[in-house]
Amino acid sequence: MTGHQATSEQPSIHYQWMPASDVPRLAELDRSERVTLNYRMEEGALTGFAVDWDVPRWFAEGDGEHTVAHHVHFCQQHLAQGSQMLGAFDGDTLVGLGTLQPQIRPGLAQLAFLHVSRAYRRRGIAAHLVEQLCDEVRRAGATAIYVSATPSESAVGFYRSQGFALTDQPIQELLALEPEDIHMVKRFPADI
């Protein structure tokens, strides 16, 4: 995967597997966005509601939930448990990052972290990251991949466009950690 050139829609973007020592580079990502529609699960159904939020970049200082340090720690924990990390780069700048836990249950992988910088969204970068991560876990024998998605319209809509569907059997420990997230699963066809 190292040095893989992107498609013509994103000629300057290349993708490569990253070592754990590069986790602090996630500070380069700009996760900011404007959110006007959010979702929640109510009686097994997805319900949208209007919001008016400006989500800022991660905070450089401190160690709370919305800080660089928090997300570095989160990714380091996953990598220590066998996760893999795939980056999208524009030249030397990290513009997208996905982490993959190959097995959280027999045959079930987890897309644990996925972010693309604001200026690089809607260019197919997140879709390419997800495709490559799914290919990797399929080769390793997974039959499905799980994601706990931020409940925003953009995140939920993106995962749906990638073949993820709401699950009626969320993994309880992940649901307890992220009860407001929308828990989804993508099942792979058996023909690989």
pLDDT at residue 11, rounded to an integer? 64
DSSP 8-state symbol, 152: B
Torsion angle (degrees, nearest 10) of CA 78, 168, 108, 31: -40
- SS3 of 134, please? helix
CB 140 within 8 A of CB 171: no
- Could you list the pLDDT tens digit for every one of the 192 residues in the chain? 334 433 335 568 999 999 999 999 999 999 999 999 999 999 889 999 999 999 999 999 999 889 999 999 999 999 999 999 999 999 999 999 999 999 999 999 999 999 999 999 999 999 999 999 999 999 999 999 999 999 999 999 999 999 999 998 999 999 999 999 999 999 998 765
DSSP state of 82: T
d(CA 154, CA 185): 17
pTM of the prediction?
0.90
Q: What is the pLDDT of residue 191?
A: 64
The per-residue pLDDT for 53 is 94
Q: How far apart (Å, rounded) are the C-alpha atoms in residues 183 and 136? A: 21
Q: 160 with 153: CB under 8 angstroms?
A: no
Amino acid 12: pLDDT: 87
What is the set of domains in the chain, with CATH numbers? 4-187 (3.40.630.30)
Contact 184, 146 (CB under 8 A): yes
Q: What are phi and psi of 129, to 5 degrees?
A: -60, -50
Distance, CA of 58 to CA of 16 (rounded, Å) = 23
